Amino acid sequence: MMLLLLLVLSPAWAWIPVEDWESGNVTASLGESGQCVCHVYLPDTMFPADRVEHMQQVTKDLMLEVEIQINKMVSYKGKLEIFLGELKNLTTRVLILESDPDNYIKLDFELLRIELREFEALVSQLRESLNSSSPVFDSLYSEIHNMTLIVNQLETYDKSNLELVRIEFAKLQKKLEECQKEADIINPDIGNCNHTGITGVSRPMVVQLNAHLSSSYTFGGWGKDSKPARGYESMYWYGGYSSPSVYNFYLYSNYDNFILRSAFKDHDLPNGWYGTGNNYIVHGNAIYYQKNSPFSMSKLNLTTSKYDYRVIPQASQKFSYIYSDYQNMDFAADENGLWVMYATEEAKGKLVIAKIDEPSFGIENEWSTNVYKQLASNAFMVCGVMYATRSVDLNTEEIFYSYDTKTGEERHLSIQFEKFQENYVNLDYNPSDQKLYMYNNGYYVSYNVKFKN
């Protein structure tokens, strides 16, 4: 092989010592333009510098992938430990129930069945995550099936006694509801803003898997009416889907029926009124959600089943929260009323807060913030203050930013709270009970909010 070297040799050949060059392999001549041209004959064995560089990059990628997989295994180990602890507790409850079935009512049996279905979904999720089928998982499935059979058998014993207990339970429930109403009257902070902002968030209260009892329904939301009509103070709502498409909602008269998945009404959105995203709410006996075509905010009156929509020209469909696409409009409610948050191209993707005038269903006022929507997990309103969240790690979320619409003051915060699972698509504050409602990877999760008085 012959290389023409002009003045300096290529660095790729610098690894060959000069003393190893044979004089017969180097000749010199004068070029046509008078320049000196060296003819060097080098051996065919070349150092593969490009291959070494490629191997170094592949090694880095493999080390990163291994680290990611190790973190996943640690996360799965923690989930499995929690799961095994809950399964042990459930086994004890079934044994107690088997020894004395007359002291339990239908609700207890149904709750046990729901938990068993949840455990079955968790086992399936772990199997898919670990991409494994082993005797351990098969044994867990068998154990869950056997416990379900026991629960079904126990419920058939002594129906007369169960009916008496059910009547007594209904009386007790009525008394508890009366006590709850009195507690709401005694607590002056509910519905008021006698504080200077959020100082903390409680640990998550995981209610159960969604009403479809499927871990594939990762899109959706749940909660209570933030401004309930008289007689609907105890109502819960739910919407869950396997994609960002929004096409129906379920209503439950109270918490017990919500747990039992016994809806008193369900709304299937008609063609032309489908929505997208997950940041919808129920406020004033109406559901507010993001409509597809035209892109707009939409309203469904739950009493009259009347639909309405309003286009917000500056709202953009290009910007969404980090956990899910198509979450362009985020509806929120607080002690001051109804809000919608979105990003605009004029603001270069930063969140804009808009106050909704409920009677006219129009935009009353707007405030521009300095938080990029695509860097946030979600946002909610409390007493006219917007709070934005972001992910810290697999199990931790953080309220990192706030904007006060009354004063225009922005603050950078660090209020961390625990997640049940990594991804969530709906997070809303409800002023009627001062709780946060989260739809966390298919599970109903809620939090108590702590304020600085």
Q: What is the pLDDT of residue 192?
A: 81
Q: Is the confidence at residue 109, as pLDDT, over 90?
A: no
Residues in the chain: 453
Residues 447 and 377 in one domain: yes
Asked if the structure places residue 64 within a domain, the reply is no
Q: Are residues 235 and 336 in the same domain?
A: yes
Q: Which long-range contacts (CB under 8 A, 24 or more apart) does 411-420 make?
A: 413/387, 415/198, 415/199, 415/200, 415/201, 416/392, 417/200, 417/201, 417/202, 417/203, 417/204, 417/447, 418/203, 418/204, 419/204, 419/394, 419/395, 419/445, 420/204, 420/206, 420/445
pTM of the full predicted structure? 0.63
> What confidence tens digit (pLDDT) does each residue in 337-355 have?
999 999 999 999 999 999 9
**Where does a domain end: 158, 186, 214?**
186
Two structure tokens written together for 451: 């304020």
For the domain that residue 210 is a member of, what is the CATH number? 2.115.10
Per-residue pLDDT averaged across 362-372, rounded?
96
Give 107-149 as a 3 state SS string. Answer: HHHHHHHHHHHHHHHHHHHHHHHHCCCCHHHHHHHHHHHHHHH
What are the tens digits of pLDDT across the range 167-178? 554 554 555 455
| φ, ψ for residue 344, nearest 5 deg | -125, 155
Range of the domain at 10: 2-41
The residue out of 125, 152, 186 marking a domain boundary is: 186
Of 313, 318, 382, 302, which is closest to residue 350 (Cα–Cα)?
Answer: 318
pLDDT of 449 higher than 80: yes
Q: From edge to edge, which strands make up the β-sheet containing 286-291?
A: 245-246, 275-282, 286-291, 296-301, 307-310
* Residue 104 near residue 151 (C-beta atoms within 8 A): no
> What's the mean per-residue pLDDT of the chain?
79
146 within a domain of the structure (yes/no): yes
DSSP 77-104: HHHHHHHHHHHHHHHHHHHHHHH-GGG-
Q: Tell me, yes or no, whether 78 and 215 share the same domain.
A: no
